[in-house]
Each structure stands twice: as C-alpha cells, then as structure tokens.
C-alpha cells in the first residue's frame, strides 16, 4: 500500500449512512434508533462536546509504523473501538446482531451484546468465532433467578465480561417513540435471551404452552429493575468470575463508588442521550471522572463518536477505548457488509489522523494532545 491508497476502504460518511437508514427503515424504526429522550439536548451535546477540544499535533516524528492496539481488562484490543450494546437489531436488518457481531469479529473489533438482542447470547458469541472478545450487557432483571441464569449463560458461552447498564431503572422519556406508539419489543424483536432462558421459561412459561407474543408481558415486567443498589453488586460478584463493568456512569462520586465496590471498569455514558435528557455530554463527564480516578480503573466512553479524531480526543481525556452505537446500526441497514464498511472507514480515519497527529502508539495518547477551546466557532 502506498500513502495514496490511504482512503481505499472509505465508503461513505456516517451522515450518509444515516441518510440511507432514514430512507430504508420505517419512520418509527428510524426514529427509535436516531432519537434521544426529551428535547434531545443531551443527544446534541454528545456530538458538539468534541468540538470544544482541539487536538495539538506534533510533527517530525517517524510515523511509518503505527500501533492502534490498547489493553482492556486483560485483553489486547486490535483497535480502540468496540461496538456498543444496541438492542432489537432485527428492526434494522433481519440478520440483526449476527451481522453486527460477525462483521465486528472479522475486523477484530469487540462486540457488546445487549440483553434485548434478537438472537440469543449463545448464537451471537458463536458467530464471532473467537476472533474478538465479546461482552454481555446486562439489564439487571427484576427477578434474581433470571439475572443469575443470564450471567451463568454468558460465562458458559465464552463472554469476556459482564457490562451492567446502570442508567436505566426505567426507560427515558422518549417523545418520538411515544408519538409513534413504537417500542420494538411489541414486534417480537429483542426477546431471544428470554425465550432461550431455562429459568425464565420454567418460571413464566411453565409447560411451554405460551406463544412468544404471550410471553412479552412477563418479559416487559421483569426486564428493568428500579431497586438495584450498590450493595447488590456483591451478589453479582458471587455469581461470576468474569470482570464486571458498569455502563452509564456520569457522576464522579459514582466513579469513586465503583472503585470502592471493586468493579473492574466503567463506561462513561449517558446512553447516547436516550435516558436523562439535560445531562452533559459523555466526553465532559469523562474529563471530570478521569481526573478523579487517576488511572485506578479502566475507563471507556461512548456517545457522539463519529470520526477518527473523536477517538483521539476521547483517549486523550482518559478513555482506554471507546464504544460506538448508532454509526454501526446505520451501516447494519446493509447487513454485515455495511457494518464492516462503517468500521473500516472509522479505523482508517483513526489511523490517518493518528499519523498526522504525530502519534505512533494510540496507547500513549495523553492529555497533552488536547486543549480546551472556548472561543466561538
Ligand atoms: C437503538 C439503540 C438501542 C440501544 N440499546 C441499548 C441496550 O440494549 N443496552 C445498553 O446498555 N445501551 C443501549 N443503547 C446505548 C448504546 O449502548 C450507547 O450507549 C450509545 O448508542 C452511544 O452513543 P452513540 O449512538 O452516539 O454512539 C442503545 C442505543 C441505541 C441507539
């Protein structure tokens, strides 16, 4: 490859993928993916926050060899990007999570499988064929037996960690979905982990006589849990040897509590602006949290990451790696190839940006690479 081939794998921008998704999907399905809660202030802030930090490049450095790998929870990741847990992926493409996880794995990109996947966690990990780590995202069910069963299944299926989403005691105030009267679970998407769970089946479908539709009310009843507190983490710790990562931390005091309670990592996230509208951006929260944590816990961030330089800024502000959500879901409108195309462009963009910034190892990106910009744009 020569320097002039650098964009050979470029397809289209995330914005163009989004436009394609908008044309392809039904309006309620597109809104479900693209929208945020409330007035979508937080959704917007997640993106604009990146403009408030400037990268300070360095020059006259030999950047002919570059290493994009990072360490996370005893794993070496080929690139500092993972696919965020996104539920109900069959509303975008019939191959859903299998296409996304399979595409990610072929590019050595880790995948985080949602509790509300449209394929079972066993099918998803099998699709990755061990080519990249997969993590299981737990919406802590309001039934301990089902929670324990999901976690045991994830461990048995070879998952590398449990990502507990802690920002969703209930769903955010999602005005577009309410306007559309749309929640994907009603279509039968996102329930495979329950239909395949022996404990759920035994407790809520005794005798196995209920259709999937008849099981949806019980799934909705136990899916989320408003009573889980920090003390309950011990219960989880006793049931798995896997690393436990909390997703949805925004407050620095919660980051310190996570440290006290012995979790293995945190994901700084406001759920892509889908939960509490009016919170600040995830990037700003990362800045504050990283200053408090001082390297004592692995930090991951998500929300608004669309291009290579966004990843450089996130790593500079203290993240070990990042997650992307909507960008790969827009790619998923074209199935596995679309997911791979989005990821390939993003990784190439990162590689290009890293070189021009004078960086040879992304793991060495520190705060000196960015400066806060407070002037007008
Ligand atoms: C359609 C959709 C469904 C999501 N489902 C889940 C989920 O099941 N579990 C979860 O922890 N987060 C979920 N999220 C949040 C993502 O994991 C992630 O935090 C967010 O998408 C990151 O922001 P970005 O889309 O700007 O990259 C979902 C996000 C979207 C867009």
Q: What is the tens place of the pLDDT at every residue in 81-105?
A: 999 999 999 999 999 999 999 999 9
Q: Return the ligand 1 atom nearest residue 163 CA.
A: 11
pLDDT over 60 (residue 3): no
Instruction: With cut-offs at 50, 70 and 90, classify the pLDDT of residue 347.
Output: very high
pLDDT over 90 (residue 6): no
Tell me, in angstroms, the distance from the centre of ligand 1 to residue 39's CA.
18
Tell me, in angstroms, the distance from the centre of ligand 1 to residue 31's CA.
13
* CA separation for the pair 333, 19 (Å, rounded): 11
- Per-residue pLDDT averaged across 136-150, rounded? 98
| Best probe residue, ligand 1, of 33, 84, 301, 319 (max atoms within 8 Å of C-beta) | 84
pLDDT given for residue 377 in this prediction: 58
Strand partners, 303: none
Buried b (16+ CB within 10 A) or exposed e, 47-73: bebbebbebeeeeeeebeeeebebebb
Tell me, in angstroms, the distance from the centre of ligand 1 to residue 85's CA.
6
The mean predicted confidence, pLDDT, of the chain is 96
Domain presence at residue 350: yes
Q: Which domain holds residue 192?
A: 3-365
CA dihedral 87, 90, 95, 101 (to 10 degrees): -10
Domain presence at residue 377: no
* CA separation for the pair 138, 159 (Å, rounded): 12
Domain presence at residue 26: yes
Domain presence at residue 81: yes
CATH number of the domain to which 313 belongs: 3.20.20.70
Domain presence at residue 214: yes
Q: Cite the DSSP H helix spans in the chain.
A: 14-24, 27-34, 41-48, 96-106, 121-128, 144-156, 175-180, 192-195, 198-204, 212-222, 233-237, 252-260, 282-293, 308-316, 326-331, 335-356
Instruction: With cut-offs at 50, 70 and 90, classify the pLDDT of residue 10.
Output: confident
pLDDT over 70 (residue 7): no
pLDDT over 80 (residue 376): no
Domain presence at residue 375: no
Domain count within the chain: 1
pTM of the shown model? 0.97
- The residues annotated with a catalytic role in the active site are 271
Q: Return the ligand 1 atom nearest residue 84 CA.
A: 17
Instruction: Render pLDDT for 172-202 as a digit per residue (tens, 0 to 9).
Output: 999 999 999 999 999 999 999 999 999 999 9
| Ligand 1 pocket, CB under 6 A | 32-33, 46, 84-87, 114, 116, 137, 165, 247, 269, 271-272, 274, 302-305, 324-326
Handedness of CA 342, 39, 164, 184 (dihedral sign): negative
Tell me, in angstroms, the distance from the centre of ligand 1 to residue 303's CA.
9
Domain presence at residue 262: yes
């Amino acid at each position: 490859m020569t320097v002039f081939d650098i964009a050979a794998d470029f397809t289209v921008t995330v914005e163009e993928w989004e436009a394609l998704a908008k044309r392809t999907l039904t309006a309620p399905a597109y809104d479900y993916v693209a929208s945020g809660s409330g007035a979508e202030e937080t959704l917007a802030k997640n993106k604009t926050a990146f403009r408030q930090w400037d990268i300070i490049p360095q020059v006259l450095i030999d950047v002919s060899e570059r290493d994009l790998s990072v360490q996370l929870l005893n794993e070496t990741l080929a690139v500092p990007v993972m696919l965020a847990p996104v539920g109900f992926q069959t509303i975008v493409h019939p191959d859903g999570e299998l296409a996304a996880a399979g595409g990610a794995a072929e590019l050595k990109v880790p995948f985080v499988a949602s509790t509300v996947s449209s394929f079972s966690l066993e099918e998803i990990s099998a699709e990755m064929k061990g080519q990249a780590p997969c993590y299981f995202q737990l919406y802590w069910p309001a039934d301990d037996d089902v929670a324990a069963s999901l976690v045991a299944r994830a461990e048995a299926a070879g998952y590398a960690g449990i990502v507990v989403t802690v920002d969703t005691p209930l769903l955010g105030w999602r005005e577009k979905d309410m306007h559309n009267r749309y929640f994907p679970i009603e279509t039968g998407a996102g329930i495979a982990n329950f239909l395949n769970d022996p404990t759920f089946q035994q407790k809520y479908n005794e005798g196995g006589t209920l259709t999937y539709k008849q099981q949806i009310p019980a799934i909705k009843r136990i899916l989320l849990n408003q009573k889980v507190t920090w003390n309950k983490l011990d219960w989880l710790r006793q049931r798995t040897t896997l690393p436990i990562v909390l997703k949805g931390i925004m407050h620095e005091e919660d980051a310190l509590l996570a440290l006290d309670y012995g979790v293995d990592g945190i994901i700084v996230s406001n759920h892509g602006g889908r939960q509490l509208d009016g919170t600040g951006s995830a990037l700003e929260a990362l800045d504050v949290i990283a200053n408090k944590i001082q390297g004592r816990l692995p930090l991951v961030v998500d929300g608004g990451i669309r291009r290579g330089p966004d990843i450089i800024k996130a790593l500079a502000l203290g993240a070990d790696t990042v997650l992307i959500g909507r960008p790969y879901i827009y790619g998923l409108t074209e199935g596995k190839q679309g997911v791979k195309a989005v990821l390939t462009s993003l990784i190439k963009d990162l590689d290009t940006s890293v070189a021009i910034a004078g960086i040879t190892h992304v793991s060495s990106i520190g705060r000196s690479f960015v400066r806060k910009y407070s002037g007008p744009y």
